[in-house]
Amino acid sequence: MRKSMTLSLILSAALGVSALAFAHDGGPDFGPGGPRDHHGEAMMALHGLNLTDAQKAQVKQILQQSFASLKTQAQTVRQQHEAFEALSPNASNYQSAAASLAQAEANLTSARITARAGATAQIYNSVLTSAQQNQYASQKAAFQARKAQWQQFKAEHPLPASAGSAP
């Protein structure tokens, strides 16, 4: 039962993601196979809306523009991360480099979330028809209901404590 609930949650998560996640600029952070590759998840959400070819082209353009605006910032953070990793923990600037990297990553995360929200709103308001907007809202509500059901199930059926762990 738990495996089928997990599968249901994974599949429903794929339907509930933002349409923004499926465009990539090819960099390691955004490209297919990269750590932020949500192409398949977003395509599932869009697939359910039966977009026309023209709508798909509009969505792709919006998302490419959105991610292009983040590309330079993401590359800078990546370079800063590589420089930090090259530092020895006893380097005089190690702590300040860590703080600087943390702030740069926080700023990039904020920019990504803001860009995702902006692109999603633009797609929702200027690309989707009212019927597709209603369908999107229904899919999102169904996902939230399944997520709540899964959380309730997990709370009612906690995993047993592993052997050898402290009580």
Contact indicator for 136, 122 with CB cutoff of 8 Å: no
Q: How far is CA 125 from the centre of its chain?
A: 20
pLDDT score of 157: 92
Contact indicator for 48, 76 with CB cutoff of 8 Å: no
Alpha-carbon distances of 59 from 16, 95, 122, 159, 163, rounded to whole Å: 17, 42, 9, 42, 50
Domain spans in the chain, listed from the N-terminal domain onward: 2-156
Interatomic CA distance for residues 51 and 56, integer angstroms? 6
* Tens of pLDDT, residues 55-73: 999 998 998 898 898 999 9
Tokens of 162: 């592993």
What is the DSSP secondary-structure string of 1-29?
Answer: -HHHHHHHHHHHHHHHS-GGGG---SSTT
pLDDT score of 2: 52
**Single pTM value for the model:** 0.63
pLDDT score of 129: 94
Contact indicator for 136, 128 with CB cutoff of 8 Å: yes
Tokens of 76: 């800078």
Residue 115 exposure: Cα atoms within 13 Å on the Cβ side: 21
Interatomic CA distance for residues 94 and 139, integer angstroms? 47
* Tens of pLDDT, residues 77-122: 999 999 999 999 999 999 999 999 999 999 999 999 999 889 889 9
